[in-house]
């Protein structure tokens, strides 16, 4: 009888653990093409665009502006913000829309809480005076369960710790940072002196001890001690390139890769010493924006806006942006993948995203 029960239970466990029927379990990179209302889905192993989700064919306008994307750890669902539609979509592994939030003004960056059924949403940096709040969204029924006051203007950079215990958001307009206990929803505000940094995005070490964020106006990478979260304390600043955007941290927590939009480069930063060990430039790096690492960390994927024409596309689309693939050992560019117009935020299933290594 025991053997029979084991054999009966095993297929059920496999069914629960496996991706939904019809889904491809290979690692994916989702790339928001903000300038043409599409999302490119790249197979991270073959480094090719396997499909393009055209939101215009799903009833959205050319001005939908898909901006940021995250995926479930098992790849069953992925979520994308549409700035121009005040909407956040939920799609399944077949890229079918299965849910949506339609009452969240100018959604910008999003991140999952992997210890609960929620995700968090900030506001787009393109909005001059968006609501001063952080959205808490139930990702099963796609409803905004709460709006947490930030009290500061233009809340944009956003991350959730790997263990889901804390979330962090900051202002683009002031040097104010808010940490939140995701269970009690107690918050702690941190204020910095000096010039306004305009931190665009965060990344966090896997152990949750260090938070980093790039200052658009200063060209500095800020390192925060997050061991006392939700409180933060700056431990170091590192001069990188002009307009550091969405960084990513290696799985061992030792190295950060920082795309510098106005310098068309990627800074490689040793987080232990707080030093730039290399600066990567080359064909395809044209206003770098979002970053993600391959599953084993040997490849860095960087989306590039290419709105200034610093890269000349070889394909049929004269306005194509790129995803540049970089060998993380040699720091050489090994591939340039052309995608849609004005690629921005990226997300990944199977790889290592900026905020969830």
Residue 13 placed within a domain: no
State mean pLDDT over 148-159. 97
Phi then psi for residue 57, to 5 deg, are -75, -10
Q: Radius of gyration (Cα) for the chain, nearest Å?
A: 20
Q: Which residues contact 179 (CB under 8 A, 6 or more apart)?
A: 166, 167, 168, 187, 188, 190, 226, 229, 230, 231, 232
Cα angle, residue 136 at apex, residues 131 and 138 outer, rounded to 5°:
140
Averaged pLDDT score across all residues of the chain: 92
Residue 70 placed within a domain: yes
Residue where the block lists tokens 């960390």: 297
Domain range for residue 85? 25-353
Residue 174 placed within a domain: yes
For residue 54, what is the domain's CATH number?
A: 2.130.10.10
Instruction: Indicate yes or no: pTM above 0.85.
Output: yes
Question: What is the band of 68 on the pLDDT scale with cuts at 50, 70, 90?
Answer: very high
Cα angle, residue 349 at apex, residues 343 and 227 outer, rounded to 5°:
95
Residue 168 placed within a domain: yes
State mean pLDDT over 283-296. 97
Phi then psi for residue 237, to 5 deg, are -130, 140
Q: What percent of the chain has pLDDT over 70?
A: 91
Q: Decide if pLDDT at 290 tops 60.
A: yes
Which pair of tokens denotes residue 166? Answer: 């804390």
Question: What is the band of 196 on the pLDDT scale with cuts at 50, 70, 90?
Answer: very high
Residue 113 placed within a domain: yes
Quote the CA–CA distance of 115 and 113 in Å, as a whole number: 6
Structurally, how many domains does the chain consist of? 1
Whether the bond between 230 and the residue before it is cis, its omega within 30 degrees of 0, is: yes
Which H/E stretch holds residue 13?
A: helix 2-17
- pLDDT at position 12 is 34
Residue 347 placed within a domain: yes
- pLDDT at position 147 is 97
Q: Are 323 and 299 in contact (CB under 8 A)?
A: no
Q: Which residue has the higher pLDDT, 353 or 150?
A: 150
Residue 5 placed within a domain: no
Residue 11 placed within a domain: no
- pLDDT at position 2 is 36
Quote the CA–CA distance of 43 and 47 in Å, as a whole number: 5
- Per-residue pLDDT tens digits for 17-66: 344 434 557 899 999 999 999 999 999 999 999 999 999 999 999 999 99
Q: How far is CA 224 from CA 135, 206, 237, 289, in A?
A: 24, 14, 9, 22
């Amino acid at each position: 009888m025991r053997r029979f029960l084991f054999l009966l239970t095993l297929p059920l466990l496999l069914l629960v653990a496996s991706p939904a029927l019809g889904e491809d379990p290979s690692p994916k990179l989702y790339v928001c093409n903000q300038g043409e209302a599409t999302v490119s889905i790249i197979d991270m192993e073959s480094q090719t665009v396997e499909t393009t989700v055209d939101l215009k064919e799903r009833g959205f306008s050319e001005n939908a502006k898909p901006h940021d994307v995250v995926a479930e750890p098992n790849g069953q669902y992925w979520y994308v913000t549409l700035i121009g539609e005040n909407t956040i979509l939920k799609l399944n592994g077949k890229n079918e829309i299965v849910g949506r939030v339609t009452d969240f003004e100018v959604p910008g960056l999003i991140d999952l809480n992997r210890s609960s059924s929620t995700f968090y949403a900030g506001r787009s940096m393109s909005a001059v005076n968006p609501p001063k709040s952080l959205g808490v969204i139930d990702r099963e029924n796609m409803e905004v369960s709460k709006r947490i006051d930030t009290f500061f203007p233009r809340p944009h950079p956003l991350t959730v710790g790997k263990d889901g215990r804390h979330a962090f958001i900051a202002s683009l307009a002031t040097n104010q940072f808010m940490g939140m206990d995701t269970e009690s929803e107690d918050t702690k505000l941190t204020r910095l002196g000096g010039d306004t940094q305009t931190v665009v995005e965060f990344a966090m070490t896997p152990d949750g001890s260090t938070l980093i964020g790039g200052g658009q106006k200063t060209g500095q990478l800020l390192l925060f001690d997050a061991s006392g979260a939700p409180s933060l304390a700056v431990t170091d600043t590192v001069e990188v390139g002009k307009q550091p955007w969405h960084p990513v941290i290696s799985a061992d927590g030792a190295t950060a890769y920082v795309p510098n939009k106005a310098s068309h480069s990627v800074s490689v930063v040793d987080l232990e010493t707080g030093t730039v060990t290399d600066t990567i430039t080359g064909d395809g790096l044209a206003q770098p924006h979002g970053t993600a690492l391959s599953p084993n960390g040997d490849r860095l994927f960087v989306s590039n806006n290419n709105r200034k024409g610093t890269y000349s596309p070889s394909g049929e689309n004269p306005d194509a942006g790129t995803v540049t693939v970089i060998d993380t050992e040699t720091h050489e560019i090994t591939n340039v993948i052309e995608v849609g117009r004005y690629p921005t935020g990226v997300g990944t299933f199977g790889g290592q995203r900026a905020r969830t290594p």
